[in-house]
Structure 1
Amino acid sequence: MVGDWTSSELGELTINFDGKRKPVKESNRRPGPYPYYGASGIVDYVDGYLFEGDYLLIAEDGENLRTRQTPIAFIARGKFWVNNHAHIVVGNENADTRFLMYALHNADTDEYLTGAVMPKLTQGNLNRIEISHPCLAEQRRIAHILGTLDDKIENNRKTAKTLEAMAQAIFQSWFVDFDPVRAKMAGESKESICKRLKLTPEILGLFPDRLADSELGEIPEGWEVKPLESVANFLNGLAMQKFPSYGLEDDLSVIKIAQLRIGNLIGADQASREIEPKYIVHDGDILFSWSGSLECVLWSGGTGALNQHLFKVTPKLNYPRWLCYFGIHHHLSYFREIAAGKATTMGHIQRHHLSDAVLTLPSIMNLEVISKPVQALFETVWKKHVESQKLSGIRDMLLPKLISGELRVPAAQDLVEDSLL
């Protein structure tokens, strides 16, 4: 331990509010604006709140206490409700609440857990966790450095989510509802259409001014109905247990549905790098789980091996990446309905469902121009993911060094400032 640091039990550094927690059955919850927290974060939104301010929530039970696929401690802010699956504390006069969160991220808590089947962290054992810490002022400086990175990552997440929603809305308006065509047919002026639908005159000019009959009903004149499989390649992964790793230099993390859900490679199995390159996933690839939990993501969790039950989706011809991504999302509810209907097996879809799911598209030449606004939004979303991945790496490198006192604040501050330039 560093000379000017000391060790204390968590109970000596916190004020506990577990007595104010109150679980509410899902059937008794009334929808509202306030987050309802459980062991791993927000589980619902309700019409009332128990707490107001900044508090540290710590998981009380659940397998995540052992696997740590998501943080076991996190800050809840504002007005919110907490059930009885999360402890709730704040730092006392000797401790900064956010510093304690980071200290718990770095702490080995396995010896404090009980329960052979379902891990549990009782309040008594929570209070016994040993925390190494400097003076309060230094705690706040450490928390500020790590918090600056986390805040930037969260801002990137919110920005990416907003931009993705905007791109999704454009896709729906132009390629599903055909709003520019319908506006032309209604006699709306070009200026009004461009302003209302956020189009340039050049792009508006590429939309026809009438609809024509098709197998799907009315679609823009001159456009074609194309199945998803003609727009993108869907590469199914391998049974990676057949390709075991033979050592650290041969390790390649396996991307399964679990990794897809959490967006990183924490807890991933390892496979050999001696697989065909097409089965290696890189940041920026579109991944689509076709069984179990059907999800489609723009992967940014690091290089890995594509496991079975996942498709790596790549554009065919000159179709843009965003079209593959939003095309799948457009049909995701349909795919999930199919999977949910398979009561006797693990829910999944089959290849022919990718042919049954169709998109209505203009010519490749026109699509290239029409898609420019969506492409710009999509690439910005991707850049936010890439930046967040970089910042997460810096935070994960700094956290154990700062929390242990191995690295001092001035040196860490320089690293963070350089990363944010």
Structure 2
Amino acid sequence: MTTEPVLLQDVAEAQNGEAQSTENLPNGWRVVSLEKIAKFNIGRTPARNEVRYWSEGIYNWVSIADMRELMIITNTKERVSEEANKQVFRGKLIQPGTLLMSFKLTIGRTSVLGIEAFHNEAIVSFELSENIDRDYLMFYLSQLDYSDHQDRAVKGNTLNKDKIAQLPISLPPLAEQRAIAAALRAAQAAVQARRRTIELVRERKAALMQALFTRGTRGEPTELTEIGEVPQGWEIYRLRDVLGEGFIQTGPFGSQLHASDYQPSGIPVVNPTHLRFNYIDESELPFIDKSLANTLSKHYLQKGDILISRRGDFSRYSFVGDKYVGWFCGTGCLLIRVKNLAVDNFFLSVSIGTELSQKYLKNNSVGSIMPNLNTQILFELPLLLPPLAEQREIAEALQACDAVIAALEQEAALHEELFRALLEELMTGRVRVVSPGALVEP
């Protein structure tokens, strides 16, 4: 495909005939409609009730869940069969290196295929003109403002086929496209390097946890118990035995707290989606008004609380440290509040992530479709506790790991912020790349 880009103001369909100004763009740049630089294909989902399309799946099938922003897709959660290939997709496999973009619900997420695959109807794949750099377009589409282009559909926001075609693309010459893409890839690599370091530290922390919970900190001999080999002097309890004056309670019911109550600022709400392996992901927290929170005041978080997801993945849990005091326990969480001078609450939170606790939670959960917890199940959660002094030693060692992770997270967030700022500056031409790695103001 060798279609030459055409100025958007020359396209009759563009924005009801109104010309889009290029006066703020550098010389040599132009604004084109997406349909003039790419052909695009919308995918399909084989009928779910047709077992023959999904059993013995051998072909990768991409959904939005498989797409990580600005990343290469190397595997998919679902696969379709040879029958689906023949009857639904007619053998038209999308090839590695193809740019994909989501345009329903999650609009504007871009990824590149690293494998042969089909994709669903919420994703569009592009066949690009020879004078378009794929990665430049990927970065550009990831930051485009879609608010003026999307429609409201039954299941949420979407772009229709015509509006995808008319998306305006600011386009520099090919050499500059490539230089911009190279600069952004370098900035993106710095972010990814920090993320990989964080994952490595988390793995080391998990290995340390395993060692501490099986061998202790003092070289004491071990003994065989009903739960396996444990250090002598450690005791097996149930959570109900160590609550002291504390309690376990569910988060607010859906009838008490609605998604429509969320707002851009106020009291942060921690839902299961924000819980990780004993930490809270703060990147997309919702907020509620303080007056509403006060009507549900028993759900305010206190230092030492432990939150855990009530359904699904029970490795989603977190200790509540100083930073999160006064935040709010969201719907779908269970809150554990321990008030016992013989128990270190951080150690207790770490215990929830051990194989012993996680195996119990999975085996004793209820629900036929999705595993669920309730307060009674948590009351009977088995815990392995050493003397208080040793609890604190283990807690301090693991908190030191968390401090390193927190510092790395902050560094990664800063690099992400710098990447986003650079993306905006380069895509508007306010900063120019005259050669790979060389940035200048116009």
Whether these two folds match at TM > 0.5 is yes
Structure 1 residue aligned with 2:411: 387
Partners of 1:152 and 1:28 lie apart in 2 by 40
Q: Secondary structure at the match of 1:28?
A: coil
Structure 1 residue aligned with 2:106: 64
- CA deviation after TM superposition for structure 1 residue 36, in Å: 4.7
Tell me if 1:350 matches 2:379.
no
Check 1:47–1:371 CA distance in 2 against 1; reply closer, same or farther (3 A cut).
farther
Q: Secondary structure at the match of 1:59?
A: strand
- CA deviation after TM superposition for structure 1 residue 58, in Å: 0.9
- CA deviation after TM superposition for structure 1 residue 53, in Å: 4.5
Give per-residue Cα distances to partners, 1:229-274, cap 9 Å, x unaligned: 74898786567859x99998x6344343455599455483542388
Structure 1 residue aligned with 2:386: 362
RMSD over aligned CA atoms reads: 5.0
Check 1:170–1:84 CA distance in 2 against 1; reply closer, same or farther (3 A cut).
same
Q: 1:383 is aligned with what amino acid?
A: A
TM-score normalised by the chain length of structure 1 = 0.66
Tell me if 1:150 matches 2:150.
no
Partners of 2:432 and 2:286 lie apart in 1 by 32
Q: 2:361 is aligned with what amino acid?
A: F
Tell me if 1:309 matches 2:339.
no
Partner of residue 27 from structure 1, selected from 35, 55, 65: 55
Partners of 2:32 and 2:212 lie apart in 1 by 60
Structure 2 residue aligned with 1:208: 220
Give per-residue Cα distances to partners, 1:34-68, cap 9 Å, x unaligned: 9752234254276999566433211254x223xxx
- CA deviation after TM superposition for structure 1 residue 296, in Å: 1.3
1:219-368 equivalences in 2 (<5 Å): 219-228=230-239, 230=242, 241=257, 251-258=266-273, 263=281, 266=284, 268-272=286-290, 279=300, 287-291=307-311, 294=314, 296=316, 305-311=328-334, 319=344, 321=346, 324-325=349-350, 327-328=352-353, 330=355, 331-332=357-358, 334-336=360-362, 338-341=364-367, 348-368=372-392
TM-score normalised by the chain length of structure 2 = 0.63
Check 1:220–1:325 CA distance in 2 against 1; reply closer, same or farther (3 A cut).
closer
Partners of 1:309 and 1:104 lie apart in 2 by 34
Larger Rg: 2
Q: Do the aligned partners of 1:252 and 1:271 also contact (CA within 8 Å) in 2?
A: yes
Partners of 1:247 and 1:114 lie apart in 2 by 22
Q: Do the aligned partners of 1:36 and 1:81 also contact (CA within 8 Å) in 2?
A: yes
Indicate the percent of aligned positions where both proteins have the same amino acid: 21
- CA deviation after TM superposition for structure 1 residue 347, in Å: 6.3
Q: Secondary structure at the match of 2:220?
A: coil
The count of residues paired between Structure 1 and Structure 2 equals 370
Segments of 5+ residues of structure 1 without an aligned counterpart are 66-70, 182-202, 416-421
Tell me if 1:403 matches 2:427.
yes
- CA deviation after TM superposition for structure 1 residue 7, in Å: 0.9
Partners of 1:362 and 1:109 lie apart in 2 by 56
More helix by share: 1
Check 1:401–1:87 CA distance in 2 against 1; reply closer, same or farther (3 A cut).
same
Tell me if 1:84 matches 2:120.
yes
Tell me if 1:74 matches 2:111.
yes
Partners of 2:378 and 2:371 lie apart in 1 by 15
Q: Secondary structure at the match of 2:344?
A: coil
